[in-house]
Amino acid sequence: MDIKKVVIPVAGWGTRSLPATKNVPKEMLPIYNKPVVQYVVEEAQAAGLTDVVLVTNRNKTIIEDHFDYNLALEDVLTRTGKLDMLKTVRDVAEMVNIITVRQKKQLGLGHAVLCAREAVKNDPFAVMVGDDLMFGMEPGIKQLLNVAHSEHMPVVGVMEVPADKVSSYGIISGEEFAPGLYRVRDLMEKPKASETSSRLAMVGRYVLYPDIFDHLENLGPGQGGEIQLTDALKALTKSNRLLAVKIRGQRYDAGDWAEYLAANIYFALHDEDLRYPLVQRLKELLPIN
């Protein structure tokens, strides 16, 4: 079965990034010259996902506008002969199909995924958390799709994290049955490092089957009072139906300022015109302790 749909929940408040996110959605903060969400959608597109279900709220309409034509701007760029930029902005509108659904109450990641039920219907689908940016040889979500296609099972993406970060993530444990591939036995949402010996954290990439919606529907509030996707995934482990794949590549958590800024520098350094002046300026700053 070809998986074409991806759910990207974008209704969160972005409190970690205030005051920048007081009126600008956190997904629209730029990393170098593109908003955070565009990197996520580019990863989806590179993995062959064509239908993006954005789970939004009333303050997030500019996200869907970003993936639409801006005819007034295109007109200006045409008249002023800025044809390269015209192509750049038009390409963004033509990347993927956008479907939006409203998450009317922010009740957690599990609830956000449940809001996408009618848009997803009966097909397997991907979920990508909009804060988690991944770059590497092969798109992060593609690494999960490969496993889902061969094993016909839901898959979560994991990476190893240090002990002091365990309490920020959903943590899985299980047996490694092939290099970097795990049969998941247990999941805990944001445990203390002392509560688990596992350091395998879920990093915002999932491939799920529609049965997840039934599990989500029957859940009460979990960790932090929210409807947790992790709790619905735990139900899948009871019938041995959940795999994890260790994602190869670099990851940035765009909601963490140090990582957000590092991601900006990473991309700016990849731009030939910017690299030299940027390195010069950074050298001037580096003596600061």
Residue nearest to ligand G1P (CB): 170
Instruction: Out of 29, 202, 232, 247, point to the residue binding ligand G1P (CB under 6 A).
Output: 202
Where in 240-279 is the site for ligand G1P (CB under 6 A)? none
Residue 129 near ligand G1P by CB under 6 A: yes
Asked whether 7 and 125 are in contact (CB, 8 A), the reply is: yes
Least spacing, CB of residue 170 vs ligand G1P, in Å: 2
3-state secondary structure at position 40: helix
Q: Which is nearer to ligand G1P, 170 or 174 (CB)?
A: 170
Residue 11 or 98: the one with the smaller Cβ distance to ligand G1P is: 11
Residues touching ligand G1P, count (CB under 6 A): 14
The C-alpha atoms of residue 133 and residue 149 are separated, in whole angstroms, by 23
In contact, 51 and 96? CB cutoff 8 Å? yes
Nearer to ligand G1P, 44 or 202 (CB): 202
201 belongs to the binding site for ligand G1P (CB under 6 A): yes
Q: What does the per-residue mask of binding to ligand G1P show for 104-123, with x meaning CB under 6 A? A: -----x--------------
DSSP string across 135-188: ESSS-HHHHHHHHHHHH-S-EEEEEE--GGGGGGSEEEEEEEEETTEEEEEEEE
Name the 3-class secondary structure at 18: coil
To ligand G1P, the closest distance from the beta carbon of 261 in angstroms equals: 18
Q: Phi and psi of 195, rounded to 5°?
A: -85, -10
Shortest separation between residue 247's beta carbon and ligand G1P, angstroms = 12
Judged by DSSP in three states, 100 sits in strand
Q: Is residue 7 within the footprint of ligand G1P (CB under 6 A)? A: no
Which residue in this structure is represented by tokens 């593609």?
Answer: 142
Angle at 241 between CA 235 and CA 244, to 5 degrees: 100
Q: How far is the CB of 263 from ligand G1P (least distance, A)?
A: 15
| Site residues (vs ligand G1P, CB under 6 A) | 109, 129, 131-132, 169-170, 189, 201-204, 228-230
